[in-house]
Amino acid sequence: MKTKWKFSGKAVLATVMCMSLVLGACSKSSSGSADDNAKDENGNYKTQLTISAANLTNLKDGQLDNEFHKYWMDKFNIKWDYNYIDWDSWAEKLRLWINSGDLPDVAVWNYVHGDAMNYIDQGLLYKFPDDWKTRWPNVAAAYKETGLGDKLEELTGGTYILPRPVYFENKPADPLLNQIGVIALRKDWAQAVGFELKDVYTTSELNEYARLVKEKDPGKVGNKLVPISYNSADALTNFVMANSEHSRVESAFYKGEDGQYHWGPADQETLTGLKIMQQAYKDKLLDPEFYTWKNSEGTDKFRVNGVAAVMSLGGLASYRQDLNTNMKKNLGVDSDDLIQTALVTGDDGKYRNLEQANFWSALIFNPKISKEKFERIMDLIDYSVSKEGQLVLNMGFEGKDWKYDDNKQLVSLLPEGTSLEDKYPSRFEGLYLLGDDFSVINPAIKKDYRDRAVELYKEKAKLSTEGGKMATYDWDVQLYDSKAKNQASFDYATEYTNLILQPGDLEANWKKWVESKQSMVKPVLDELNSQKK
């Protein structure tokens, strides 16, 4: 059984759900017998279980019919009843499923703390057996690295959620900083206009580079030139956050040196970042319609059209490899001699970023899932986190997709420019540990890109602890839930963009904006400061 959904419009379900299909999938959650997980003399499961799963992977008809998926389904004798989730409707669909009791056997959920507490109180999520960490030690070890798992156990007295670790055995640096805040610039254009190549730039230095490119047009692209190709989210990261570490939603409410909680968007540093962003817009360094761009429109100007001087990249080695692949495909060039990756600091020279919470999203289970189905899923997940499982999941099959060289180093056998996802689409069996961890050592990613990514992560850690301003992950804030806090959630990228586009004096407009938000912000600060006492 395949459950298909079609959507139109952001975060809106534009179809009438066939509830009989969903209910049919979930009614099987309580089925199963005591012998369903019995194994034969070779350790193979005797009974095939049909398990409903929901993930963000865009699985299409026929994509399960390949060697990779067959390996996992045969190994665990599973038949997947797969439910595709569209990114834009992810939160809405999971909320509907959970509240109506129609959650698939296992699903990837974008964790929201207040919702999690409510779901647990109402019995809408499966409670793990008390000895689960002994039964599935690989999962338990990765789970512990998230930090969130232990915090939730303190609050709920049990395990109901598996936060998904970003890193497990291959953390690139300590402290671990968010992967945002890395840019790519055209090295050949910088050399042509006499701009110095460095590993770290201030926001105004990047603006100066963009001005030189705009003036001299070293790429000869004419009126198509986009000196700085950021969308609104990129602009928040590389203009505003670079100057104000508490300007983002993740760190907006923070405890200051005075021991009191504050709202970062009201800090003077946020205004500094906004001024630099507005100047870039007025100087036409940003595209006149940058704020309308969605998804990859900004980066496409750089990697597809070849008309941009700077783009926001992110810190993963896989992003750099994708950039190279796109430039080869669309521009017919090898990017190695053309691209410089670098970090961005504020104009005061101080590096700012967010401490990385080592989880993203979570696995949740139908509260009525049978013991046999739960155990089968956990067996699969435990194997997927093991060294052997990670190799299969991220590299494919030894001798066909990869091998060990004479020095026992991993070597990819995939054709250059291709990935495992190209060969085996929608590898959703990796339900738990995120691919960021393996990307640090994945030989399918060029070693130079992996080395550079780790180098920049280490530089982030160094800069953040030596005079930088790291927004630490405050569990007291992140796990605090109230009506007031939920109401004081803003789309800061849009808010900041509106501010720099407004006519009149930016500082005056910003002060009015800060004041206009106080009716929602002040109650949160009062609650946090009261809790602290």
- For 454-473, how does the pLDDT look when each residue is reduced to its tens digit (9 = 90+)? 999 999 999 999 999 999 99
**Maximum pairwise Cα distance, the chain:** 78
Confidence (pLDDT) at 32: 46
First to last CA, the chain: 54
Region for residue 404 given its phi and psi (left: phi exceeds 0; alpha: psi -120 to 50; beta: otherwise): beta
Residue with tokens 């109650």: 523
Q: What angle do CA 139, 145, 146 make, to 5 degrees?
A: 95
Confidence (pLDDT) at 533: 54
Residue with tokens 């992950």: 473
Residue 444 to residue 419: CA distance in whole angstroms = 7
Burial of 429 (0-12, 13-18, 19+ CB in 10 A): buried
Pairing outcome for strands 200-202 and 226-229: unpaired
CA-closest candidate to residue 90, choices 376, 364, 358: 364
Confidence (pLDDT) at 532: 59
Confidence (pLDDT) at 15: 29
Burial of 174 (0-12, 13-18, 19+ CB in 10 A): exposed
- How far, CA to CA in Å, does 403 sit from each of 33, 130, 349, 397? 41, 40, 45, 9
Confidence (pLDDT) at 23: 30
Residue 318 to residue 420: CA distance in whole angstroms = 12
pTM for this prediction: 0.84
Residue 115 to residue 103: CA distance in whole angstroms = 15
Letter for the amino acid at 183?
I
Pairing outcome for strands 308-312 and 226-229: parallel
Quick check: 25 and 83 in contact, CB under 8 A? yes
Residue 398 to residue 411: CA distance in whole angstroms = 10
> Tens of pLDDT along the chain (533 residues)?
333 333 233 333 232 233 233 333 333 344 444 466 788 887 889 999 999 999 887 666 667 788 999 999 999 999 999 888 888 899 999 999 999 999 999 999 999 999 999 999 999 999 999 999 999 999 999 999 999 999 999 999 999 999 999 999 999 999 999 999 999 999 999 999 999 999 999 999 999 999 999 999 999 999 999 999 999 999 999 999 999 999 999 999 999 999 999 999 999 999 999 999 999 999 999 999 999 998 899 999 999 999 999 999 989 999 999 999 999 999 999 999 999 999 999 999 999 999 999 999 999 999 999 999 999 999 999 999 999 999 999 999 999 999 999 999 999 999 877 888 888 887 777 789 999 999 999 998 999 999 999 999 999 999 999 999 999 999 999 999 899 999 999 999 999 999 999 999 999 999 999 999 999 999 999 999 998 55
Q: What angle do CA 10, 434, 252 make, to 5 degrees?
A: 60
Q: Is the peptide bond before 175 cis (omega within 30 degrees of 0)?
A: yes
DSSP SS3 for 157: coil
- Please name the residue ranges forming H helices in 123-201: 132-135, 137-144, 148-156, 187-193
